[in-house]
Amino acid sequence: MTWLKREISESGLSGKSFAMSQAYARWEIDQVVAEELARNLCLSAACVAAATLALLADARSSALVLACVGATLVDVCGFAHFWGLSVDVVVGINVVVSVGLCVDFAAHVAHVFLTQTGGRDHRKQQAHKALVVALTALPLRRSRANIWEIESSCTFWDTDDYALTAPIKLIGAP
C-alpha cells in the first residue's frame, strides 16, 4: 500500500490521483496501530520504571519489576501469535492493559519483600507467606465478580466475534 502511494505521488500525474480499495483502509489502520502500540509500550515501560522507582525507592527492585513486565509482554504477545491474532486495535488494547495488570502484582511482591525486616532469606519467606495468603484469599473476595465473569463468558462461548474472543484468548490463556 505504501509502495503504491509512493508510486502514484512520483508518477507526476496532474490532478488528485490516489489508489482506493476496501482493503486499503484496514491496512492503513493496521499500520497506524502497530506504530502506536510500539510507542505506547515504550511509554508504559518508562512510566512503570519511573513510578516503581519513585514508590519503591529501590533501583534493583524497580529493575526486577520492569523485567517482570517485559517477560509478561513477551508472554502475551507470544500467545497472541500462537492464537493467530494479528496486531490490531483489540489486541493492542489488551496488550497495554496487561502491562497494568502485571505491574500491580510485581510491584506488590517487591514492596512486601522490601518492607520485611531481617535477613534476605527471612524477608523472602515472609514475602512468600504474604503473597500466598493474598492469592488464596483472592477467589473469596472476588467470588461475585468471578461468577459474573463466568456467566458473561458462557453467553459468548460459541461466538465468532473477534472483539469478544481475542481478549479471552489473550488474558485467559497465559
pLDDT digits (tens, 9 = 90+) for 69-102: 999 889 888 888 888 888 888 888 888 888 888 8
- Name the strand (E) or helix (H) holding 30: helix 22-56
List C-alpha distances in Å: 153 to 85, 148, 158, 164, 173: 19, 8, 10, 9, 14
pLDDT tens for 41-72 read 899 999 999 999 999 999 999 999 999 899 98
* Longest distance between any two alpha carbons in the chain, whole Å: 78
pTM over 0.75: no
